[in-house]
């Protein structure tokens, strides 16, 4: 199993190209099941989760062709996927595939919407809490699907098609909103989604669906209106830039020091996180090229942050911020309100010498004057990159184990950091 070796103490200087957003790519790929015409996705990141979803879609009879680089493309330009679900040969998504990635459960919506039936295994993915699918199933029931759960599988039926309806989510849910959108676009009649997630990735998927012929109003607000259509067409769509990758590298620069241009980054996608970084002492400048992040020798100031749905501070940047705060000059508090069990990185950060105390959903971080490199183990996708951030500023050598978590969500992370002067290498087993 691969490991990553990092020797800390080097500032980051240079340019990092921000990849396409994983959290938009996966539902966009799944949306291909809604049409028998080709869907072409540009700027798709090279990630383990993307490759796994290709396998899952292939199981349904979907053909996925990966385009090569065009003349003039740079090393980190995203892939182009040509996806064709002309003929769906199987409406079952088996346990051995779905259990490896939660988002793959979302195939249930387009399958039942287009084919009238779907049998999908209950999901797996990161071990950061239960993240139940009850709200996703509620959305499908409200659109007329008959739902049964048997032997670890969800069987959804709508032999005469789904029917428009009203979906009121009791709490904000990204997965539920994606599911409701993909089900409603082919339902008979109008649908209303209340308390919808407002994340930029929801808007990106809605924009693509609109290009395919869907009638959607209000994406990006808490109230989305959908008028169902009989069929959707193919289209070409470019995936938006990854705000979590942007925030991660911005925090890495704030931690290690230096001056880095994050090419293609869009500040409006993560303004709350950028505001926190400025409060912590980083210099943020927005340019036509992206976002420039700098930190001089003044040190890191402590901050108090509570995670919240968009436009609040993202839960997917909580672990990275915690790593940064381990070196702050003072005491910080981070409260996690989205997922339980999302503090598993605390024990690993402590191996660097971090001083972190947990009380329920709040972590109190007392900044320390130095961190020391150590062998550490990644526990989930975002936690794993927090260990990389800590290692960049730690004295001596760090070995990060179980880096397959990193490969699920960060494209060529070590290469991007090496190009900015970090001493980091992948050690293959």
Read off the pLDDT of residues 320-378 as tens digits, 9 standing for 90 and up.
999 999 999 999 999 999 876 678 899 999 999 999 999 999 999 999 999 999 999 98
Provide CB contacts within 8 A for 250, sequence distance 6+.
262, 273, 274, 277, 282, 284, 291, 293
227, 256: one domain: no
CA distance 316 to 305: 13
189, 148: one domain: yes
231, 247: one domain: no
62, 193: one domain: yes
In terms of residue numbers, what domain contains 178? 25-238
Domain end call among 193, 216, 238:
238
37, 118: one domain: yes
Please list, residue by residue across 208-231, b when 16 or more beta carbons sit within 10 angstroms of its beta carbon and e when fewer do. bbeebbbebeebbeeebebebbee
Catalytic residue among 97, 113, 126, 172: 126
271, 394: one domain: yes
Give the CA radius of gyration of the chain.
22
Q: Is 420 a catalytic residue?
A: no
Q: Which residues pair with 366 in a beta bridge?
A: 331, 355
CA distance 62 to 64: 6
Residue 165 in contact with residue 143, Cβ under 8 Å?
yes
Handedness of CA 168, 170, 173, 175 (dihedral sign): negative
Judge whether 23 is annotated as a binding position: yes
377, 421: one domain: yes
As to burial, measured by CB atoms within 10 angstroms (0-12 exposed, 13-18 middle, 19+ buried), residue 87 is exposed
* Token couple for 206: 């809605």
Judge whether 114 is annotated as a binding position: no
Judge whether 22 is annotated as a binding position: yes
263, 296: one domain: yes
Residue 124 has φ and ψ, to the nearest 5°, of -125, -135
Judge whether 131 is annotated as a binding position: yes
Domain end call among 238, 253, 286:
238
199, 265: one domain: no
pLDDT digit string, tens, across residues 165-217: 999 999 999 999 999 999 999 999 999 999 999 999 999 999 999 999 999 99
208, 255: one domain: no
Across the range 85-114, mean pLDDT stands at 93
Residue 28 in contact with residue 237, Cβ under 8 Å?
yes
294, 218: one domain: no
Judge whether 100 is annotated as a binding position: no
**Most trustworthy range by pLDDT among 123-132, 272-281, 339-348:** 272-281
Report the DSSP pairing between strands 304-306 and 331-335: parallel
Nearest to 205 by CA among 30, 408, 409, 19: 30
Judge whether 36 is annotated as a binding position: no
* Token couple for 414: 């070590």
User: What is the model's pLDDT at position 68?
Assistant: 60
Residue 323 in contact with residue 251, Cβ under 8 Å?
yes
CA distance 73 to 67: 12
Domain end call among 238, 263, 283:
238
Judge whether 171 is annotated as a binding position: no
Task: Work out how many domains the chain is built from and give that number.
Answer: 2
- Kindly report the CATH number assigned to the domain that includes residue 328: 3.65.10.10
pTM tops 0.85, yes or no: yes
267, 161: one domain: no
């Amino acid at each position: 199993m691969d490991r990553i070796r990092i020797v800390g103490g080097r500032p980051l200087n240079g340019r990092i190209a921000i990849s396409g957003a994983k959290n938009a790519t996966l539902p966009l790929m799944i949306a291909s099941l809604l049409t028998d015409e080709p869907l072409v996705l540009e700027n798709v990141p090279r990630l383990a989760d993307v490759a796994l979803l290709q396998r899952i879609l292939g199981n349904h009879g979907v053909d996925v062709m990966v385009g090569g680089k065009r003349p003039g493309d740079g090393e980190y330009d995203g892939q182009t996927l040509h996806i064709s679900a002309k003929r769906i040969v199987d409406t079952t998504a088996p346990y051995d595939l779905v259990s490896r990635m939660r988002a793959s459960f979302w195939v249930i919506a387009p399958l039942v919407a287009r084919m009238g039936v779907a049998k999908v295994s209950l999901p797996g993915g990161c071990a950061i809490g239960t993240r139940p699918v009850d709200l996703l199933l509620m959305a499908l029931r409200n659109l007329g699907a008959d739902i049964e759960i048997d032997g670890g599988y969800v069987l959804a039926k709508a032999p005469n098609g789904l029917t428009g309806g009203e979906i009121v989510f009791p709490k904000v849910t990204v997965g539920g909103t994606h599911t409701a959108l993909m089900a409603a676009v082919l339902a008979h009649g109008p649908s209303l989604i209340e308390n919808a997630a407002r994340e930029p990735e929801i808007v990106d998927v809605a924009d693509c669906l609109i290009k395919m012929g869907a009638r959607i109003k209000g994406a990006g607000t808490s109230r989305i209106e959908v008028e169902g259509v009989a069929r959707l067409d193919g289209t070409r769509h470019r995936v938006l830039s990854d705000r979590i990758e942007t925030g991660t590298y911005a925090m890495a620069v704030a931690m290690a020091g230096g001056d880095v241009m994050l090419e293609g980054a869009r500040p409006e996608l993560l303004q709350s996180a950028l505001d926190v970084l400025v409060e912590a002492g980083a210099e943020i400048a927005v340019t036509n090229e992206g976002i420039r992040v700098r930190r001089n020798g003044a040190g890191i100031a402590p901050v108090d942050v509570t995670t919240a749905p968009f436009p609040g501070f993202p839960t997917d940047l909580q672990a990275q911020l915690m790593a940064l705060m381990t070196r702050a000059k003072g005491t910080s508090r981070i409260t996690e309100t989205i997922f339980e069990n999302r503090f598993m990185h605390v024990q690993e950060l402590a191996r660097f010498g971090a001083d972190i105390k947990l009380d329920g959903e709040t972590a109190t971080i007392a900044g320390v004057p130095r961190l020391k490199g150590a062998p550490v183990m990644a526990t989930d996708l975002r936690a794993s990159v927090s260990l990389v951030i800590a290692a960049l500023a730690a004295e001596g050598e760090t070995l990060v184990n179980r880096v397959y978590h990193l490969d699920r969500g960060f494209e060529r992370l070590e290469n991007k950091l090496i190009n900015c002067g970090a001493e980091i290498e992948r050690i293959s087993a």
